Amino acid sequence: MRRTHRRKPRPLLGRIFPWFRVTATFSDKTCRIFCFACRKEKAFPKKSIYRLKSCGCLRNDLISLNKTVHGHKRKNHRTVEYTAYMNLRSRCNNPNNPEYHRYGGRGVKVCKRWAGTHDFPKFLADLNLKPSPDLSIDRIRSTGDYTPRNTRWADARTQRLNQRRMKRNRSLATSERPSKSPKTAVQE
Ligand SMILES: [Zn+2]
């Protein structure tokens, strides 16, 4: 007889997987998951969820992504989301990127959650699929890093307005502040 002590399995209910959270478990060996990618709930056999990547909504995207990751680096095989992800990492990490001086060169970083070479699924789970083709990656606070909270898909107009607003806020903050308190006066 094996002497291995059998530990009680962790409860499935509430468990968080990279692509979804388990929101309900049922006695008929099924459970319900909340998919981070499409934000919908779906039922699955409990056994099957360990291999699940999204609820199925990303199936086609992941297949084409797999082709990309496994050597098929032809440009037309890359999903727009994957391209956006690789570009933002390059802007922050690669000094040879033509945009580096505006990003990595200014201290803009990619958050830990998205930083690794295999972290694209997390990026996709946080930002979802690009809702419309005319959008691109935007930082809400243009001085902040690329984090799930500070990053969104936005159109060019929104991005321009946002940049203008940030600039105005910055100049207001420096001009309206009484010069008495040199401690709080931050040099840009
Ligand atoms: Zn889904």
User: For residue 58, how many other CB atoms are within 10 A of its CB?
Assistant: 23
* Cα 54 to ligand 1 centroid, rounded to whole Å: 5
**pTM exceeds 0.95:** no
pLDDT value of residue 2: 55
Look at residue 177 in the predicted model and tell me its pLDDT.
Answer: 46
Cα 38 to averaged position of ligand 1 atoms, centre (Å):
4
What distance in angstroms lies between residue 162's CA and the mean position of ligand 1's atoms?
Answer: 30
The pLDDT, as a whole number, for residue 63 is: 61
Compute the distance between CA of residue 133 and CA of residue 79 in angstroms, rounded to an integer: 12
pLDDT value at residue 20: 86
pLDDT digits (tens, 9 = 90+) for 146-160: 999 999 999 989 888
Residue bearing tokens 């209910």: 13
Which segments in the chain show pLDDT lower than 70?
Answer: 1-6, 60-78, 173-188
Q: Are 92 and 110 in contact (CB under 8 A)?
A: yes
**What pLDDT sits at residue 153?**
93
Q: What is the pLDDT of residue 162?
A: 83
